[in-house]
Amino acid sequence: MVLKDLSLKLQYRTDADNLVSEFFIPCLSNSIEYDRSVQHITLKSISTLSLGSQNFAENDGKIRIITGDRYSTKDLDILGKIFNKKNGAFSFSSIHGYKLDILQKLVQKNKIQIKIAIPRSEHVDGSFSERIGIFRDEQGEMVAYTGTSNETFNTENRNFESIDVFTSWNDRPRVDIKIADFEKLWNNETKYVQVYDFTYAYQNNLLKYDSGWAIETLS
């Protein structure tokens, strides 16, 4: 099955749809690449993205994420170790350690890449909060979306959210615009924002601890 075989709607909204089970999981399961820009992401969400979809893993999937500079204290500490190439393997004494070790191996193989976007202009005095997502399948078809959704992957949809969906077979110009926006951001070519590799940002203390956010851990 490929993306074009999915019965996708033009919009998904919490009052009528389950964004996770009806959109994210089907698209991810039929993709080999996923690009995402989002205000913040948790370690649990990164784990779900990379390990939660068997089809995505079997297709040797690749994930690129651009996120803001705020992380929970626990997530940031663990991600710092995962992206540290000199760090040894995590202990297998628990499922938690096993998942972290797999994540680290995916990072080392560049199957998961994270970059940090930080506003650096008088024109933008807040945080990075752009939300774009792009799925690609093995046939080169794409599904792009924009909207208010964060990568919580909670089937209960705790937040009220909505996304607009564009496909390469029905709205290629719009999809191409989203791809261009993401690529410019990834390559640090977007005005008012400076983009750093996660490792550089972590080692140079550009990331911020935010204890105000709920700390989600791998279960």
Number of domains in the chain: 1
Per the CB < 8 A criterion, the answer to whether 194 and 188 are in contact is yes
Average pLDDT over residues 77-91: 76
Residue 76 is assigned to a structural domain of this protein: yes
Per the CB < 8 A criterion, the answer to whether 114 and 4 are in contact is no
Per the CB < 8 A criterion, the answer to whether 141 and 2 are in contact is yes
Residue 11 is assigned to a structural domain of this protein: no
What pLDDT does residue 213 have? 44
**Nearest alpha-carbon partner for 142 in 186, 187, 173, 181:** 173
What is the CATH classification number for the domain harbouring 35?
3.30.870
**Cα–Cα distance between 143 and 172 in angstroms, integer?**
9
> What is this structure's pTM?
0.86
Per the CB < 8 A criterion, the answer to whether 39 and 64 are in contact is no
Residue 60 is assigned to a structural domain of this protein: yes
Residue 138 is assigned to a structural domain of this protein: yes
Q: Kindly list the distances between the CA atom of residue 191 and the CA atoms of 14, 47, 145, in Å, as whole numbers in the listed order.
A: 33, 31, 22
Mean pLDDT of the chain: 83
How far does Cα 32 stand from its chain's mean position?
14
DSSP-derived secondary structure for 81-111: HHT-TT--PPP-SSHHHHHHHHHHHHHHTTS
Convert the pLDDT of each residue in 46-77 to its tens digit: 887 776 666 666 667 899 999 988 888 888 88
Residue 176 is assigned to a structural domain of this protein: yes
Average pLDDT over residues 177-189: 97
* Tokens found for residue 43: 């370690």
- Cβ density class 86-124: b for 16+ within 10 Å, e for less: eeeebeeeeebeebbbebbebbeeebbbbbbbbbeeeee
Residue 12 is assigned to a structural domain of this protein: no
Convert the pLDDT of each residue in 3-48 to its tens digit: 999 999 999 998 999 888 899 889 988 999 999 999 888 888 888 7
Average pLDDT over residues 71-96: 75
- Give residue 159's domain range: 31-209
Residue 214 is assigned to a structural domain of this protein: no
Residue 178 is assigned to a structural domain of this protein: yes
